[in-house]
Amino acid sequence: MINVEQIYPGFQWGNGIDKNGLHVSAIGSDLEITGLVPTYEVRDSACDLIRQYEEAAKQVVIGQERTGTQSPDVCFANADSDDKLIAFVRRFGPIVARCVQDTRMIPHAELQGPRFPGRLIARQDMQELRNEQAIYRAALVLIMHLAQRNYDYGTAQQLIKTIAANVKEWPRQWEREKSQRDFEPMWKLSAESLKRIEGLSVAPPDPILPNEVSGRIVICELLNSFRSIIFPNPLEMHSNIKFGTRPLLYSLLRRQFLYPRGFSICSNSECRNFFNIERSGQQFCSSECSRHHRQRIYWQKRGKTLRNKRTYQRRKAGK
């Protein structure tokens, strides 16, 4: 038997500047993200989005705190605040950059520092980052609805409306990226696809086709905007994600759509985060959410009894 080691260069926008990861600073309404050009010499890097997705499924240890919210796709879908979005960008890089500068390409006369190791400096518009999170979360919820027996057309259409409202910026972003490249970007949402998504966001249920067909069409239009491509070397692969890791995130979404890894939404009404299911019957993303939910239910029942008792005692004392 011959053992062949899998060649896996990694999928990284950049290497961390230090132990805290990539450098992120706010400049007006933008984030400036700085990282080292990846050399792909370190295996299982914390900045490797695909590897971290694969490793998340292996980190389940019986008796330890749940890790189902650590997968990158779940982390991004759960990033419902600017602080969470910035933390995600600090780890994995920009999602869709307005512009990217490679210090290796700057003439010596203009370079303010050493040429090597090369650095990537990207600008990420904060509102575009929020929009991307809204699209991704809605798409992940829609995939979850498609897997359920009782498909709710009304709920699904609200999700499609969220996607349509934000994805309309993709053609403009494609033109912007194209203007900064020597070739056309390898992803593209066509005008026909955008029109189809927008139409389905307001269309009534089809009288003939099953209700879930509209949801499947929208997910397919999103995923088909990011082709599955094989690269002959890390240099060409990295060029595909130089302007953001969005193609990697949608490669994970494709996996969830075609080969679902069990995931759900936390049953704690004050949380509602996504999590990867680690055991049968799991309803909460963490033991803390489970405890808070049980306490709330208990006090909802117990509290009513206590309130009625106090009301009775006040009325009795007033007689």
* pLDDT at residue 183 is higher than 50: yes
Spatial distance between the Cα atoms of 164 and 135, rounded to a whole number of angstroms: 8
Spatial strand order of the sheet with 30-36 comes to: 23-27, 30-36, 119-125, 99-102
Reading the block at residue 163, the tokens are: 């996607």
pLDDT of residue 59: 60
pLDDT classification of 302: cutoffs 50, 70, 90:
low
CA 77 to chain centroid, in Å, comes to 4
The pLDDT tens digits for 76-122 are 999 999 999 999 999 999 999 999 999 887 665 555 655 667 899 99
Phi, psi of 6 (to 5 degrees): -70, 130
pLDDT of residue 5: 45
Least confidently predicted of 60-74, 195-209, 222-236: 60-74
What are the sequence ranges of the domains in the chain? Answer: 23-285, 287-319
Least confidently predicted of 58-67, 149-158, 181-190: 58-67
Cα atoms in the 13 Å half-sphere on the side-chain side of 268: 19
Instruction: Tell me the whole-structure pTM to 2 decimals.
Output: 0.81
Spatial distance between the Cα atoms of 162 and 165, rounded to a whole number of angstroms: 5
Measured CA to CA in angstroms, residue 46 lies from 81, 89, 143, 217 at distances of 22, 12, 27, 34
pLDDT classification of 64: cutoffs 50, 70, 90:
very low
Instruction: Find the mean pLDDT for residues 195-220.
Output: 95
pLDDT of residue 167: 98
pLDDT of residue 56: 78
Spatial distance between the Cα atoms of 222 and 188, rounded to a whole number of angstroms: 9
Q: Angle at CA 91, nearest 5°, toward 90 and 92?
A: 105
pLDDT of residue 259: 82
pLDDT of residue 92: 95
Reading the block at residue 272, the tokens are: 């509602």
Instruction: For CA atoms 16, 17, 19, 23, give the dihedral sign.
Output: negative
pLDDT of residue 2: 45
Considering the chain, what percentage of its residues have pLDDT values greater than 90?
50
The pLDDT tens digits for 229-270 are 888 888 888 999 999 999 999 999 999 898 876 656 666 666
Least confidently predicted of 170-184, 250-264, 283-297: 283-297
pLDDT of residue 223: 97
Instruction: Find the mean pLDDT for residues 42-71.
Output: 70
